[in-house]
Structure 1
Amino acid sequence: MELISLSDGDNGFRVRVLGRRSPGMLHLHDQLDAEVLITSSFVSGRLAMSLFPSDLEDWSRALDLLAAGQDICWRDDDHSPEIRIQPHNEEHETPAVRVEA
């Protein structure tokens, strides 16, 4: 399941949920495997990550802010990749995404 997919034709950014970490194991039941995919004309990258239900709730709130035209920062907790999205970057006059692991 894709949480977000942004592309301008040459560059792409996606966050995908791949599934449960260990279905049936109670202590890992709610942990999800996910990935961040970044592509461009000169580089491609994949970053694995884990999500909990609270991360998805935070993502929902972040998307509401993004829809209202505000910059967002998701998973700024020193243990996860930080994802920042600007709906309009004035320098480049486009949306901008930054991922820091």
Structure 2
Amino acid sequence: MFPFELVRLTDFENEVRIVVQSSMDGGFWEAQIEITSLFVKGSTLLVLSQSKLEAWAQALDVLSLGQDVTWMQMDRGPTVSVQLEGERDCPEVVVEDESISMVTVRIPIALEDGWISDHQARIRRFIENLR
């Protein structure tokens, strides 16, 4: 099952991925956020819990209604925001790592139609594999 690509937001120039690397004790999963663009490349570790996974599924539902979301806000570790109408006339993904590196990266990504339903299927597949 691992590694499992939970999130893959890409337009083939810019990309934000969240890859679940392994299971941890206590119902947690070690993951990594990876950001790649023509300008910047970086990654940071992330610990996922059942509640964070459920929050991502809910965030996708909100995105499908045409609303921006912030996932994992007010939690330890990175925050991921998806803004459907960014400053460059396309969606933007903002990753903030205030708790460790204090770095914020804003990546414009021209997402293809169907990306939300693709990610809803990814989260369902991951949760179903846990059972």
TM-score by length of 1: 0.86
Match of 1:30 among 20, 27, 32: 27
Gaps of 5+ in 1: 22-27
Structure 2 counterpart of 1:55: 52
* Percent identity of equivalent pairs: 37
Q: How far off its partner does 1:29 sit?
A: 3.2
Gaps of 5+ in 2: 98-131
TM-score by length of 2: 0.67
Which one scores higher on RCO, CA 8 angstroms, separation ≥ 6? Answer: 2
The two structures, once aligned, show a CA RMSD in angstroms of: 1.2
User: Is 2:61 the partner of 1:64?
Assistant: yes
Paired positions, count: 94
Q: Distance in 2 between matches of 1:30 and 1:63?
A: 22
Q: Which has the higher strand share?
A: 1
Structure 1 counterpart of 2:88: 92
AA in 2 matched with 1:49: L
Match of 1:16 among 16, 19, 28: 19
Q: How far off its partner does 1:4 sit?
A: 1.7
